[in-house]
Structure 1
């Protein structure tokens, strides 16, 4: 059955870090993505149990052509899932030869652990708890449409538009077919949790980008002006890159790098669907990119979102039980790379503004990396205080760390995230400030200003509320 082959392929992709379960499922050609996603998640949740049963039963020794990921999917279906009801084909016949032994090994494992239910076999922390419900955030791709048109489209589909949210509580209480405009980002629509828009025609046409609010902040805070040159250091899967292109209005240049060829290929597809034409992709390690290369002589903005533990991703606990607490060894290795990447980025000669971000909750990957990089280039760059009304700030591990932003389901109704904005101390007047940031977001907002206030431009909107 195609379902089992697709599930095995997704599991293999997750193990080799080609992407998340959800990303690989929706990137597959399998028609019933909900069925595939459910099967993969449950198989992954019981992975340790399945590995033990398969090893004890000697399944892979007996069936030498059966690959480990396929074995795991099939044994889950036989012992813990649907049991091949109404299908299974040749796989059902293959597993039938080992059914008695597999069931006996599962029963033996329960006896050894002193449990009676399958769920009790799960290790502590691998059973999904009451995960915080965060809304479905949908960024309108302004390269192809505008917020008003997207809102009108949803209204014609029977959704009820509630206007711009005034508080997090408005987002928290969203239900049914109601949706809002985010109070901070003018192109971000907010739907109730679990709203599935992957099959929506506007998403498939690239008019909508399904992107968590916290993930939208890095490009927004970098705020590159149309016509400028931007470097996206660790770019795949590409949502932030497409956001940068939208802010640039496809005017200027984005140099995007990633070392993973498969992720880069998927990113190229995403950018093409989103109508991005100002981006140059390169399969290259950012650390190998020379700051003295004339091609990057005009790069004034850098977005650095490097590989991290992903400990802030809500889906990671389901996909990789225990991933919320990465080992010290892994954290040390990740932080070492992250700091090298950040220090390298700060050596680009024309750089004026940089955003460093991770989807990690760990201090080692966040505040510690930023502090280390600033200490290695004293007096050259500084942390910019942004979004003063944002409720979740950086950990107070060094002076100025409170200028960093953190995000979490509990405090901001988003995935876990960290963001730091750095700018060169002597900011050139040639770097334009974009209106997208609003008065409280501009780098110059912390300086003493005794000049008379300029009147706002006609039609300008008030500063966003958080």
Structure 2
């Protein structure tokens, strides 16, 4: 649904049209509702950022049952966020928003994205009619923004807003089924500066750019290349030895074998995976980890019967 134009001047943007006989086509109706669903998601994302407290990932918000047109909504949210700095400057320069529309700023952002970079807009809602009435001012503001920044394309303009890449540390998780954390620190410390993570006890921090793919500890499954966010999942659950755990979407298996390590190989984990190729990857990961308390289930977790004694505890 979303596409970015990169003309040498401000893009001509979307054109307005009215539906035949005053009726909406299926595409127009879909776009109308997708924009409003995207605005709701965008509001949650921006409010979460403002409070420095995540309300959920964009995907989790878009894939909630209340969102009907998930693909279009996801594309609109992502593309609007990508261009948001430009959109805000354009709207500020155009000076067209009154208090009424400022209360609906997320929908305004979505529509402004479509006017400047996205698809054709039909005059099917008050917000669409208002912004298309000011389409010329919006496009002029973008053209002036390009001139002020001495760039000729949207890509060049966006590059000015991008944060320079900062090298990220290399995270590795110690597989405590095969090796204790202190031993891993000593072994890796022969080549690298190693720190223990302050949140995940079995996670180690190494300098950026460390190539560990052929390191013996990686090859033999004593240590796994695993990011902090991924490692925090099992740590947050903190399963105890003897628990029974159902992993709904397991491949490639790093989180699954982390659960097994925290359970000290005791209890049982049912690891569900729908994709046949990913099942193979999952089994390889389990074998490498040495975990013996994981049962792989090739199938859709959503099709499991919660009344089945095997899963109803």
TM-score w.r.t. the length of structure 1 is 0.33
- Bigger relative CO (Cα 8 Å, ≥ 6 apart): 2
More helix by share: 2
Structure ID, larger Rg: 2
TM-score w.r.t. the length of structure 2 is 0.48
